[in-house]
Structure 1
Amino acid sequence: LLREAKEKEKQRRAQQVTVERTAHYGLLFDEFQGLSHLEALEILSNESEAQIQSHLATLGGEQLETVKNDLIAIKEIFVPKELDDEVVQAQKADTGEEFVSMLTELLFELHVAATPDKLNKARKKAHEWLEEASLSTPVDIEEELNEKPEEPGEEKTQKDDKIESDKTEVDKSKTVEEIYMLSIESLAEVTARCIEQLHKVAELILHGQEVEKTAQDQAKVLTNLTSAMCNEVSSLSKKFSDSVTAAGSNMKAEVLNPIINSVLLEGSNSTTYIQDAFQLLLPVLQISHIQTSGSKAQE
């Protein structure tokens, strides 16, 4: 019974830690305006959907079928597809500069005046933090290992060893916690900037300049854009979790693993946020197509 009680308590604590960390991510995501942009995008999406339904209600016969087929063709592009392993590996292999140029190129392809400045800035900051973490961790450990007692000739007692061991454990835990906090902040900020970018694109598609690309072409570009964003946050969470693993090499597994899992979980949550935002763009593109088709018909 005692063992069972201990096990339950351990599980409860692990869950509590996860809940606290998840809440922390949520707060930061909100702080970086991620939630605001997601909600604004949802409003645009719902308004677009309502306009689509109103428009369809005015049509009949062959005209209705034609428009419906067009809308279905756009929708099919939005259906998540399994990528080939080679494609996935190629995308994951993208370096920072490639990611930046890819984003810029894709936004340019959309023919909307949107630049990924904020997203690039957030991403750059995240990678700088990653670099700092990877540099600081081994140095910290090395410094601790190189620490010499005041009297080299004197052997340390068991008590001294324990104090030193505890000190190292505390120092390492602090490093892990710092990297963890940086990882969550980075993921929250980069994800929020991705959502902001998609929201801005939606606004420009609806209210921007004349669209030169068809809605289907835009949907394909947006699919690639979203895929690049998701790969970036996945890559970030993996790199941060590797950093946490390296920093916590001397920590007990039951302490370290929940932290690593939490980083990976937030990476997964980040991609879900981005994919959700992408799906909200569907009605936006569909109504844009209807409006463009209507304008051409009037001409």
Structure 2
Amino acid sequence: MLSAITNVVQNTGKSVLTGGLDALEFIGKKTMNVLAESDPGFKRTKTLMERTVSLSQMLREAKEKEKRRLAQQLTMERTAHYGMLFDEYQGLSHLEALEILSNESESKVQSFLASLDGEKLELLKNDLISIKDIFAAKELENEENQEEQGLEEKGEEFARMLTELLFELHVAATPDKLNKAMKRAHDWVEEDQTVVSVDVAKVSEEETKKEEKEEKSQDPQEDKKEEKRTKTIEEVYMLSIESLAEVTARCIEQLHKVAELILHGQEEEKPAQDQAKVLIKLTTAMCNEVASLSKKFTNSLTTVGSNKKAEVLNPMISSVLLEGCNSTTYIQDAFQLLLPVLQVSHIQTSCLKVQP
């Protein structure tokens, strides 16, 4: 594959290889095939993914369609629609901004290549290809190791890892919003690990009133814990989708800020190839954490819905699994958008500064 890419570069002369963002077609095939067997709506989702439009455009179309549907129902309640929640947390805005930044960077790379010829052109093309190869290796790794995602990191360990990786990039970025979103997601699901189905916990009204009265008089805090253990399956499902949307939006926001800082605010110059390797670690950590959360959410749904019929419980579990898979895909796709950004950064640091 590498030789084919190299031939394309040589044959097209001054055109740059920034690569198409085909993550939606190639990343996570194994997981998606498994989901397709249990989710009747998956084929339609996959068809949307295969359209030749940007990821942000696809998500915006889905969100607008859901808004029109809800408008017809005349309801003001929050809905467990991933696209709308993702937009509420500014995920769509940051994704669109990152796409614009990536496209602008690609144009700058092509324009600069057009100004070169001979040995300088060949040397720069080789440098840009070496950066692209790192991204291509990450994409291949995503395809081969999708099933291994979900290795759990403790909240504090994940926060420490993010901070260290951002420091290693030599950019003045802090993962505060992402860490807080992760903590909120872990907190509610860990509190609900002892949750039981409302149907199982239900006793006679007389016994319930008597028990609540005794608990209130003895320990008000314990009463609060009892309230937490009576979440309905619908509430757990809503929290699951909302948490996935928020965490993914914060991941996209973090990658967008990193891209801006690489271009305009590096504290210290770092080779683009080295930054690409650090970004791979950062993206992998994000995807593993999201996959871990998705698994926890489905476990919580299974517990709280243990007495529910399969036709009620299974669609919710399938939906959370699908959105968890989609979340990692969106993060990986955002990572691919950083390729032209790093190529521009390389040109700025290694080419423009040495010109007379």
Q: Secondary structure at the match of 2:232?
A: helix
Choose the corresponding residue for 1:187, options 206, 228, 244: 244
What is residue 33 of structure 1 aligned with on the other side? 90
Choose the corresponding residue for 1:219, options 276, 281, 298: 276
Greater share of helix residues, 1 or 2?
1
- Does residue 129 (structure 1) correspond to residue 129 (structure 2)? The answer is no
Shift of 1:108: 0.4
Conservation of the 8 A alpha-carbon contact between 2:132 and 2:339: yes
Aligned alpha-carbon RMSD (Å): 2.9
More displaced 10-residue stretch of structure 1: 255-264 or 76-85:
76-85
Choose the corresponding residue for 1:114, options 148, 170, 173: 173
What is residue 12 of structure 2 aligned with on the other side? none
Structure 2 letter corresponding to 1:43: I
What is residue 92 of structure 1 aligned with on the other side? 151
Shift of 1:273: 0.9
Shift of 1:95: 1.5
- Does residue 138 (structure 1) correspond to residue 196 (structure 2)? The answer is yes
CA distance, structure 2, for counterparts of residue 125 and residue 75 of structure 1 = 36
More displaced 10-residue stretch of structure 1: 60-69 or 93-102:
93-102
Q: Secondary structure at the match of 1:94?
A: coil
CA distance, structure 1, for counterparts of residue 197 and residue 313 of structure 2 = 20
Structure 2 letter corresponding to 1:297: V
CA distance, structure 1, for counterparts of residue 80 and residue 277 of structure 2 = 34
Shift of 1:133: 2.2
What is residue 198 of structure 1 aligned with on the other side? 255
Shift of 1:138: 2.8
Q: Percent identity?
A: 71
- Does residue 288 (structure 1) correspond to residue 345 (structure 2)? The answer is yes
CA distance 1:139–1:262, shift in 2 (3 Å): closer
**Structure 1 unaligned runs (5+)?**
1-12, 152-171
Conservation of the 8 A alpha-carbon contact between 1:123 and 1:190: yes
Structure 2 letter corresponding to 1:245: T
Q: How does 1:43-122 map to 2 (within 5 A)?
A: 43-79=100-136, 80-82=139-141, 88=148, 92-122=151-181
Shift of 1:15: 4.7
CA distance 1:149–1:57, shift in 2 (3 Å): closer
Which segments of structure 1 move beyond 3 Å, counting only runs of 4 or more?
A: 13-16, 18-23, 139-143, 148-151
Conservation of the 8 A alpha-carbon contact between 2:152 and 2:289: no
Conservation of the 8 A alpha-carbon contact between 2:197 and 2:304: no
Conservation of the 8 A alpha-carbon contact between 1:183 and 1:263: yes
State the TM-score, normalizing by the size of structure 1.
Answer: 0.80
Shift of 1:22: 9.7
Conservation of the 8 A alpha-carbon contact between 2:152 and 2:288: no
Q: Secondary structure at the match of 2:307?
A: coil
**Structure 2 unaligned runs (5+)?**
1-38, 46-61, 67-77, 208-228
CA distance, structure 1, for counterparts of residue 331 and residue 339 of structure 2 = 14
CA distance, structure 2, for counterparts of residue 149 and residue 35 of structure 1 = 47
Conservation of the 8 A alpha-carbon contact between 2:80 and 2:242: no
What is residue 166 of structure 1 aligned with on the other side? none
Higher relative contact order (CA 8 A, sep 6+): 1
Structure 2 letter corresponding to 1:279: Q
CA distance, structure 1, for counterparts of residue 180 and residue 339 of structure 2 = 28
Structure 2 letter corresponding to 1:118: K
Conservation of the 8 A alpha-carbon contact between 1:130 and 1:240: yes
Q: Secondary structure at the match of 1:82?
A: helix
Q: How does 1:192-271 map to 2 (within 5 A)?
A: 192-271=249-328
CA distance, structure 2, for counterparts of residue 221 and residue 22 of structure 1 = 37
What is residue 329 of structure 2 aligned with on the other side? 272
Conservation of the 8 A alpha-carbon contact between 2:109 and 2:343: yes
What is residue 30 of structure 2 aligned with on the other side? none
Shift of 1:254: 1.7
CA distance 1:282–1:150, shift in 2 (3 Å): closer
Number of residue-to-residue matches in the alignment: 261
Shift of 1:141: 6.1
CA distance 1:287–1:204, shift in 2 (3 Å): same
CA distance, structure 1, for counterparts of residue 151 and residue 196 of structure 2 = 26
Shift of 1:143: 3.8
CA distance 1:65–1:15, shift in 2 (3 Å): closer
Conservation of the 8 A alpha-carbon contact between 1:14 and 1:258: no
Conservation of the 8 A alpha-carbon contact between 2:152 and 2:292: no
CA distance, structure 1, for counterparts of residue 120 and residue 156 of structure 2 = 47
Q: Which has the larger radius of gyration?
A: 1
Shift of 1:96: 1.4
CA distance, structure 2, for counterparts of residue 58 and residue 212 of structure 1 = 24
